Amino acid sequence: MISAKGWKKDVSVTTKTLKREEIQAFQKDIYRYYECHRRDLPWRKTRDPYHILVSEIMLQQTQVERVIEKYEKFITVFPDPSSLAGASLKDVLGVWQGLGYNRRARSLMLTAGIIVTMYDGKMPVSVGELSGLPGIGKTTAGEIAAFAFNLPVVFIETNIRRVFIHHFFPEESAVKDREIMPLVEATLDREHPRDWYYALMDYGSMLKKVVKNPNRQSAHYKKQSSFANSDRQIRGAILRILLRESALTRSELQRKVNVEPDRAERILAGMTGEGLVREDNGEYRVA
């Protein structure tokens, strides 16, 4: 591994420029691991941009193991943008159940509709256009551009951040992404960006298991709050109930999820505003 010796930090910006041999050594380190330990993930076996879009939306804030369980079923039921865009939210959420963060499913539906109506069913290629689609920020746009189109874009996600902090900021704290980004750009394998980012992510996934999580040294690190009795858990429970029972009043839902009336009202208002549920004549149902 490359030593961090010689690095200088001025306020919030890394000032050292990587030498060619340092870049080559880093790339060799990452690729050596990847050659022996690459993960066999279903979305890496396709070049279909839509299928890669689905996988990247699913992977947002969700463990790989949980996504594997849902990804292939989802693309079997909704194999292309038009099939997803033409589906009901209830049907989509029925397949999505178990992944959590259900608003992602609705954003994915909206994105599919835009792809069909504005892009003639074909995924846009540029990061700018991709990041303008519902549920797709700059990071997810970069991932899609790299994995679907093999473009040498620069982005940072959790595993990539972990790798760079581990290699280049071992003694630092509150490391900002703007300090890491120039290093990501400098070390990018521009001829093989897809494989390079896969390799970085696999290396980062390994690091999480064998060392104290370097991402705790990131200025952007936030410990995930407990899921038990969280609004997120209750939202998921409400959707599962409505998918099963179609329509219920607020008081009926409140009793079934066992929460206080004010909290049930607030959560349902939020879900209504996000387009996940709707209220008709005092009854709530999946939108």
Q: Token pair for residue 284? A: 């709530």
Q: Token pair for residue 272? A: 């209504």
- 143 has catalytic annotation: no
Active-site entry in 22, 56, 69, 260: 56
Contact 52, 41 (CB under 8 A): no
Q: Could you tell me the CA-to-CA distances from 161 to 53, 87, 184, 213 in Å, in that order?
A: 21, 36, 9, 11
DSSP helix/strand/coil, 264: helix
- At which residue do the structure tokens 């380190």 appear? 29
- At which residue do the structure tokens 């992977």 appear? 59
Q: How far is CA 247 from the centre of its chain?
A: 31
DSSP helix/strand/coil, 238: helix
Q: Could you tell me the CA-to-CA distances from 16 to 10, 19, 160, 176, 186 in Å, in that order?
A: 10, 9, 19, 15, 11
DSSP helix/strand/coil, 193: helix
Q: Token pair for residue 60? A: 């947002």
- Active-site positions? 56
